Amino acid sequence: MEPMELPGPKARAFVKRDSSVISPSYPRGYPLVVDHAKGSEVWDVDGNRFLDFMSGIAVTSTGHAHPKVVKAIQEQAAQFIHISSDFYHPKMIELAEKLNEVAPFDEAAVTFMTNSGTEAVETAIKLARYHTGRANFIGFTGAFHGRTMGAVTFTASKPTYHAGFYPLMNGVVHAPYPNPYRPVLDRKTGEDYGETVVRYIEDQILEHILPPDEVAGILVESIQGEGGYIVPPEGFYPALRKLCDEHDILLMVDEIQCGMGRTGKWWGIEHFGVEPDVVTVAKGIASGMPLGACLARQSVMDWERGAHGNTFGGNPIACAAALATMDLIQNGYMANAAEVGQYTLDALEEIKARHPSIGDVRGKGLMIGVEFVLDRKTKEPAKDLCQRVTDLSFERGLLTLSCGKSVMRIAPALNIKTAEIDEGLQIFEEAITLAEKESRL
């Protein structure tokens, strides 16, 4: 496929204007300036068409501008836009009831609504301290939980997120995330690598650093997102749950990227047969309307009136969009994510067989990571090549997004069709072929 001339003249002009009025801190992947989008297709201001494999960082779960979501937003906007969480409205209650119905634990779920993922994580941190009366936490390397002061302390995917912002929150110690492709701890014979990590927490962190009865919670992404789309080994969560139970520590799972049907189940943690105590949600919950939530077991969300609140949380339009989104996910899109996800994983395995730069293909449902390496034996990350694949894909009409050091995340809308996957993977493979040639792999 012939590359497009990107950015086009209109996009160039917008990027120039943006650079003088918008905070320079935004990461910005490549110069995509969106005009409109529908389903898994996006058009830029110069009329160029793109296929979307990243859905606005795993957010537009029902595709762009799904008619049912648009209708729900329009109807709610005409009815009323805001009342604040100091008062009541039906959509907020209906949404909390729906979340209770699908929550990944048997006990009743109580929900606090937020405006973003990071605010959902802040809520989880504050709730854990309040409920347990303990101050400390355990997090994981490679994690991404957000950028506000509490959440960013747990975030440990890149030092950039901490540079210039110390001192962070007190009382957070990190353990290595159980990455089966890149283990950093020695496994005992017969031990699952997930169990090795939990043994490290017991033998190193709880033995040498944190008194277990002063640990409020362990915060973990069920399947790690920004750190590299990493699926932990089977033994990890059962061992972690056991450890939490032994010391009355809350198991807090961040489902912001892997939840809401993306992995073919409502929650990433459901793949591991373990029930958490606290769950954070955002991104895909409302198809792009800003909404987050922190769900907890009823016995855990026991704080007093006034202990925590916000102005915009549970905004009626965001709740209406979330209800429409969850209905679509439940009635077909989650099953599609499982089926088309497996189809995509199989196709990527075939692509891997043809390309030495692909070291690993992994994932669940439509949360798939493709890790690029310079050498399959040494597993040295091919960072530049990964960036080149992103750029070459963009020029050929495919929107992708990298994560970790050299991982491409495939995180399209949950209703993407196999024909669209085929079209996107053809561009993706062409980009890999060209990038490999350029770097003589």
Rounded Cα distance, 353 and 355, in Å: 6
- Min CB(432)–ligand PLP separation in Å: 25
Cβ 178 to ligand PLP shortest distance, Å: 16
Distance of CA 339 to the CA centre of its chain: 20
Tell me which of 76, 111, 116, 393 binds ligand PLP, using CB under 6 A.
116
CB of 385 to ligand PLP, least distance (A): 24
Pairing of strands 250-254, 401-403: unpaired
Of 40, 61, 62, 118, which one interacts with ligand PLP (CB under 6 A)? 118
Among 6, 103, 121, 269, binds ligand PLP (CB under 6 A): 121
Gap between the Cα atoms of 105 and 92, Å rounded? 21
Q: Does 236 contact ligand PLP by CB under 6 A?
A: no
Does 140 contact ligand PLP by CB under 6 A? no
Encoded amino acid at 65, one letter: A
- CA-nearest of 42, 226, 80, 64 to 147 is 226
Q: Residue 144 interacts with ligand PLP (CB under 6 A)?
A: yes
Q: Which amino acid is at 43?
A: W
In whole angstroms, what is the distance from residue 157 CA to residue 358 CA? 21
The residue (of 6 and 121) whose beta carbon lies closer to ligand PLP is: 121
**What is the Cα gyration radius of the chain?**
22
Instruction: Closer to ligand PLP by CB, 109 or 289: give it.
Output: 289
| 221 lines the binding site for ligand PLP (CB under 6 A) | yes
Please give the residues from 14 up to 73 whose contact with ligand PLP meets the rule CB under 6 A: 57
Instruction: Rank residues 134 and 145 by Cβ distance to ligand PLP and give the closer one.
Output: 145
Closer of 157 and 196 to ligand PLP (Cβ): 157
Place of tokens 């590359």: 3
Q: If you write DSSP's letter for every residue of 349-370 in order, what string do you get?
A: HHHHHH-TTEEEEEEETTEEEE
Nearer to ligand PLP, 146 or 381 (CB): 146
CA distances from 323 to 86, 96, 347 (A): 21, 10, 33
225 vs 412, beta carbon nearer ligand PLP = 225
Rounded distance between C-alpha atoms, residue 58 and residue 365, angstroms: 13
Number of residues that bind ligand PLP (CB under 6 A): 15
Name which of residues 270 to 299 contact ligand PLP (CB under 6 A). Answer: 282
Q: Indicate the residue whose CB is closest to ligand PLP.
A: 117
| Burial (CB count within 10 angstroms: exposed 0-12, middle 13-18, buried 19+), residue 356 | middle
Residue closer to ligand PLP (CB basis): 52 or 221: 221
**Residues contacting 97, CB < 8 A, separation 6+:** none
Q: How far apart are CA 258 and CA 222, in angstroms?
A: 7
Find the binder of ligand PLP among 96, 231, 249, 256 (CB under 6 A).
Answer: 256
The residue from 217, 225, 341, 397 that contacts ligand PLP (CB under 6 A) is: 225
User: C-beta of 351: minimal distance to ligand PLP in Å?
Assistant: 25
| The one segment of 233-241, 249-257, 321-329, 395-403 that binds ligand PLP by CB under 6 A | 249-257
For the chain, what is the largest distance between any 2 Cα atoms, rounded to a whole number of angstroms?
Answer: 63
CB of 45 or CB of 281, closer to ligand PLP: 281
Instruction: Tell me the C-alpha distance between 322 and 330, whole Å.
Output: 12
Residue closest to 271 by CA, chosen among 182, 367, 399, 336: 367
- Least distance (Å) between residue 229 CB and ligand PLP: 11
CA dist 308 and 316 (Å) reads 19
Which CB atom, from 116 or from 390, has the smaller least distance to ligand PLP?
A: 116
CB of 146 to ligand PLP, least distance (A): 4
Q: What kind and span of H or E run contains 128?
A: helix 117-132
| Min CB(125)–ligand PLP separation in Å | 12
Q: Distance between CA 269 and CA 253 in Å, rounded?
A: 8
Residue 259 Cβ vs ligand PLP, minimum distance, rounded to whole Å: 9
Any contact of residue 257 with ligand PLP (CB under 6 A)? yes
Task: Decide if residue 404 touches ligand PLP (CB under 6 A).
Answer: no
With contacts defined by CB under 6 A, name the span among 142-150, 269-277, 318-326, 428-436 that binds ligand PLP: 142-150
CB of 169 to ligand PLP, least distance (A): 15
How far, in Å, CA of 222 to CA of 273, rounded? Answer: 11
By the 10 Å C-beta count (0-12 exposed, 13-18 middle, 19+ buried), 327 is classed as middle
176 near 168, Cβ under 8 Å? no
26 vs 87 by CB, closer to ligand PLP: 26
- Integer Cα distance of 45 and 137 in angstroms: 46
Residue closer to ligand PLP, measured from CB, 45 or 121: 121
- Interface ranges with ligand PLP (CB under 6 A): 57, 116-118, 121, 144-146, 221, 225-226, 254, 256-257, 282
